[in-house]
Amino acid sequence: MTQEKHRFESGFPKIGIRPTIDGRRKGVRESLEEQTMNMAKSVAALIGEHLRYPNGEPVECVIADSCIGGVAEAAACAEKFSRERVGVSITVTPCWCYGTETMDMDPSIPKAVWGFNGTERPGAVYLAAVLSGYAQKGLPAFGIYGEEVQDSGDTSIPEDVKGKLLGFAKAGLVVAYMRGKSYLSMGSVSMGIAGSIVNDAFFQEYLGMRTEYVDMSEFVRRFEEQIYDGEEFARALAWVKENCPEGADNNPAQIQTSREQKDKDWETVVKMTMIARDLMVGNPRLAELGFGEEAMGHNAIVSGFQGQRQWTDHFPNGDFMETLLNSSFDWNGIRAPYTVATENDSLNGVAMLFGNLLTNTAQIFADVRTYWSPDSVERVTGHKLEGHAAGGILHLINSGSATLDGTGEQQLDGKPALKPHWEISEQEADACLKATSWRPASVEYFRGGGYSSDYLTRGGMPMTMSRINLVKGIGPVLQIAEGYSVDLPEGVHDVLDKRTDPTWPTTWFAPILTGSGAFRSVYEVMDQWGANHGSISYGHIGADLITLASMLRIPVNMHNVAEEKLFRPRAWGLFGTSNAESADYRACDNFGPLYK
């Protein structure tokens, strides 16, 4: 079994489709059976066509064996869904049904109802009635209702309904897939960073996840006892020598390490990469080598590595390990990215996980380092910012652990992009590698040496920066900033980049401004950002993040997503409609964490 097949061996949650119907026989139900079941089939076909699991396979749907006209058929459907590992449910109907008798009552499964907008039978009446029942029972559900009236024989799904069905399904699958998985903390708190304090209550109650812990000394044990695949190590090291060019050493000559030590560091960081992966998901090869316990892994879909300082004061840093795991390719070829948070910032790791599972693309981990105003840029470089950057830019830069996909060397419609791994060509992976040099780590920061990736993200890409923060008395809150990566003239970039550590990867980011709240200015975005780190995803995915957050009962404290794109459970409107941000806080507080 290959490593990738082993990684996804446990499978994925499915989406259950529940066709509900008016239970009255002798004419009413019989006249609606075909139309109702066809609605379910059309939704299943839509999802199977447009949505993919992290391994690239189409999302599977399970349809109830019969239309659901009452509580007995609802129970039979629930039993089937339990057997079939359904983690998300969508109820569809063109007609009136008996609301509380036909509804999905599982409190941990995200649920939506599509009520057909037609005049022959009152599907909208059922939609309103069942959503009322869900609110009354404390089970928030999403309501989907097309804007235009359809004829009863119309089997198509309107575009606005498609958007809501797919948006709900994507977010619901994230919720279902996270449940029962683990966050693996490799080490403990890095340099006093609050996000490194892994809060098990947050993971358990909001995400349905375990928290697993290993000391960084486990890496040393596996080095010394050779608990890794030696054949893979030899292949990996040869690949690294061929594909990961070493950049210039910026350290003063008197403290630069020898060539011999640099070569040993390469061997160490490659082993670290293999070991961290094996700790996360296990490796069947280890069992063949006599390490059955280590072969199991920790069932982790996200992890974090402390590194600083107890590790990095003595051993090579974790930048190479984090970069390669966060990328969509390595010595084994193109594959789904892992998610590893630098400095064990578990809260930023969760934001990375959200972005990865929503888009199936690699995520950029970065420090939100500096706000450069137009005046400051012009004063320092003489250059006047224009276009997306006209209001100023944020310098997103970290110590060299950002995904190689973040170079922007992949192409979508001829433009730079980050893509799901199954769409990435060998040429694109090679271009990402060629756009990156590996600089010997700054000994000022990393006394134990190591290597940091150095690249510049290509401009013009739509991107979304997000972050989870914990607030005592409230719990988790999510912040979102949609914007664009920005190209600067080479000389301008060099001047700005050299004012900090120039050996690290840079993304110039310009948030979209709305003229109000935290998005009055780029300065205000920087000033309101809740921590030193952010997760950057390709595409404008703010609306999907907001939908996901509402399922998990995590309020959103700042975003620049257009109001008409917001999609939350219908009950959120019962907490107020004139200020959606405030209503979101009240609804999340009222319903509480999904798994509490």
Average pLDDT over residues 67-76: 97
Contact of 133 with 57, CB cutoff 8 Å = no
Determine if residue 454 is labeled as part of a ligand binding site: no
Pairwise pLDDT comparison (391 vs 122), residue with the higher score: 391
Give me the helices (H) in 51-147, please.
71-83, 99-102, 123-136
Asked if 181 and 299 touch (Cβ cutoff 8 Å), the reply is yes
Output the pTM of the full model: 0.97
At 574-591, the pLDDT tens digits run: 999 999 999 999 999 999
Q: Give Cα 25 to chain centroid, integer Å.
A: 47
Structure tokens at 396: 């997103």
Give pLDDT tens digits for 331-375. 999 999 999 999 999 999 999 999 999 999 999 999 999 999 999
Q: Which domains does the chain show, CATH number per domain?
A: 3-178 (3.40.50.1070), 182-591 (3.20.14.10)
Q: How far apart are CA 283 and CA 29, in angstroms?
A: 53
142 token code pair: 């999403």
Look-up of token digits 């301008």? 492
Say what the pLDDT of residue 121 is: 72
Contact 240, 266 (CB under 8 A): yes
Length of the chain: 596
Q: Are 433 and 454 in contact (CB under 8 A)?
A: no
Q: Of the candidates 210, 220, 330, 308, which has an alpha carbon nearest to the alpha carbon of residue 272? A: 220
**Which residue among the candidates 367, 409, 454, 544 is catalytic per the annotation?**
367
Is 200 assigned a catalytic role?
A: no
Q: How many other CB atoms are there within 10 angstroms of residue 70's CB atom? A: 14
Q: Is 533 annotated as a binding residue?
A: yes
At 278-323, the pLDDT tens digits run 999 999 999 999 999 999 999 999 999 999 999 999 999 999 999 9
Residue 422 CA to residue 311 CA, distance in Å, equals 35
Cβ-count burial of 546 within 10 angstroms (0-12 exposed, 13-18 middle, 19+ buried)? buried
Which 3 state secondary structure label does DSSP give 559? coil
> Is 343 marked as a binding-site residue?
yes
Query: Per-residue pLDDT for 119 more than 80?
Result: no
CA distance 208 to 552: 10
Q: Which DSSP letter does residue 534 get?
A: E
Options 278, 319, 343, 584, the catalytic residue: 343
Could you give the CA distance from residue 325 to residue 329 in angstroms, rounded to a whole number? 8
Q: Is 343 a catalytic residue?
A: yes
**pLDDT confidence band for 1 (50 / 70 / 90):** low
